[in-house]
Chains A and B, each alone.
Chain A
């Protein structure tokens, strides 16, 4: 996703309000952007708190700054600057966290971001964008630039099945129809689960949805999603994020407020580090039951 992110930003780099700050990251990725943005590509150094305050100052001066780092460094290290300097003032600062969830794998938990959007969604005025596929990155960027408000873009590694044609971007999208359980997925793990579901006979397929924007707004939940829930009655939410502040928790809250109660609710979320051992992104997904095989087993257990 980083490559398409860079290409998309290169296409915006000549705009008069464009400015890009990185916390000393982007080697072998951001060079094309650095070359076109010139003095408006700023390596702010390994100093995220200052970087976010500077971005807020730039936004107040009429720019729409991008702020880039590894996900935990951009959202956690500078949390108070995001809260006070950016969100309280509803300024168009676009935070980009690379490596959402367990994407940094065996690099270890300091580099993971499994509580990022939950933490950020407690702040006012901020929208979270989580592309599920690389193809979602340009339209997500277009939407956040149009909104021109505080934003957090959580990037990961695209896992799209080879021959799958990604349907046009929308905050809520069905990517595979099926009569089975309704599965709502957040982020690139959708790709692997889609590939696994495609191996099932059509009569046993779940209805697969991806959610790309948070917070969940009750009135924006598509009618087709609610109709599917009505039909099958089993709602499954799968996300590489802890339960606290999760999309699953927010959806359950929204559905309860609307008096819509699925007959069965399963939430697959990031369980942290249950064994105290560390490994690849897939290893951590397996420990939390987020990998395609675990989801297939869950679907097989469906009554």
Chain B
């Protein structure tokens, strides 16, 4: 896993550097979760919804690490005539069932996929990765109510708690207090892990669940693994200079 992670981080940095694209901070905070989920947890009947669509790069890299996207496809990222947009686009890649970019859509979509399985008695779970800033969106609270009320245990919620959003910290912008206690109040079983510890993520997702829907809250660092990006809000948007890229690569190689 360590080797997969190191290669994936390097390839992610390269892709974002070469395309001059931002959003790297929130991609680095989600990378361990995406890789662990896809390499160690999900089975053939499971589906994945990336609700924080701005982590598209980390998802593409994850699919690349599984051999489901080619090197040639990665080279088109963010270029004209690509199918690898800055946020996932429709009708593009098997394994990415929905175009997502606007926040607060993924949980409802996951609930619909899960309800479809439940009604037909089909196996499989639907994993949905959300950001923490995303909880500003009211639609999520509609979806939580729906999932809890119908006890849609097929939905497994993952939240990337990197504590930074578009123009401030989550505490400064719209302080939600404890998401864990709110989810528990809605009827979820909540597990909290270090979002950069792949073993902890795996264990958190594999432990048998109670009779309620489950949410894995992952404490993360925006820009994780690149010291000058860590916990810096600006890396939601900035692209790297050549010098910064070299520093990032050196650090990623040491991890």
Is B105 within 8 A of A85, CB to CB? yes
List which B100-128 residues lie within 8 A (CB) of chain A: 100-102, 104-105, 107-117, 119
Q: In the complex where A57-B113, A58-B112 touch, is A50 in contact with B143 (Cβ < 8 A)?
A: yes
Q: In the complex, which residues of chain B have a beta carbon less than 8 angstroms from the beta carbon of A45?
A: 142, 145-146, 149
Q: Are B109 and A53 in contact (CB under 8 A)?
A: yes
Known contacts A45-B145, A47-B142, A50-B111, A63 near B105 by CB under 8 Å: no
| In the complex, B81 has a CB within 8 A of chain A | no
**A61-B116 in contact given A47-B145, A53-B143, A85-B109 (Cβ < 8 Å):** yes
Inter-chain CA distance A90–B113, complex, in Å, is 16
Instruction: Place the interface of chain A in its size category.
Output: 20 to 34
18 contacts between A and B (CB under 8 A): A45-B142, A45-B146, A49-B108, A50-B108, A50-B111, A50-B139, A53-B111, A56-B98, A56-B108, A57-B116, A60-B109, A61-B113, A81-B108, A81-B139, A84-B99, A85-B109, A88-B99, A89-B98
Q: Tell me the B residues contacting A by CB distance below 8 Å.
A: 90-91, 97-102, 104-105, 107-117, 119, 138-139, 142-143, 145-146, 149
A53-98 residues with Cβ-Cβ distance < 8 A to B are 53-63, 80-81, 84-85, 88-90
Contacts of A80 in B (CB 8 A): 102, 105
The CA of A57 and the CA of B117, in the complex, are separated in Å by 10
Minimum CB–CB distance for A233 against chain B, Å: 45
| Residue in A19, A47, A58, A60 whose beta carbon sits within 8 Å of that of B98 in the complex | A60
Query: Are A40 and B139 in contact (CB-based, < 8 A)?
Result: no
Please measure, in the bound complex, the distance between the C-alpha atom of A60 and the C-alpha atom of B98, giving whole angstroms: 9
Per the bound structure, the CA–CA distance linking A84 and B105 in Å amounts to 9
Other-chain contact of A61, B91, B112, B149 (Cβ < 8 Å): B112
A81 vs chain B, min Cβ distance (A): 7
Q: Which of B108, B116, B117 contacts A53 (CB 8 A)?
A: B108
Minimal Cβ-Cβ distance residue in B for A59: B112
Contact check, A54 vs B119: say whether CB atoms are below 8 A apart: no
Q: Is the CB of A49 within 8 A of B142?
A: yes
Shortest C-beta distance, B63 to chain A (Å), equals 18
Q: How far apart sit A53 and B147, CA to CA, in the bound complex (Å)?
A: 12
Interface status of A15 (Cβ within 8 A of chain B): no
Given that A58-B116, A88-B90, A88-B99 are known contacts, is A49 also in contact with B139, CB under 8 Å in the complex? yes
Which residues on the A side are within 8 Å of B100 (C-beta)?
Answer: 84
- Smallest CB-CB separation from A53: which chain B residue? B108
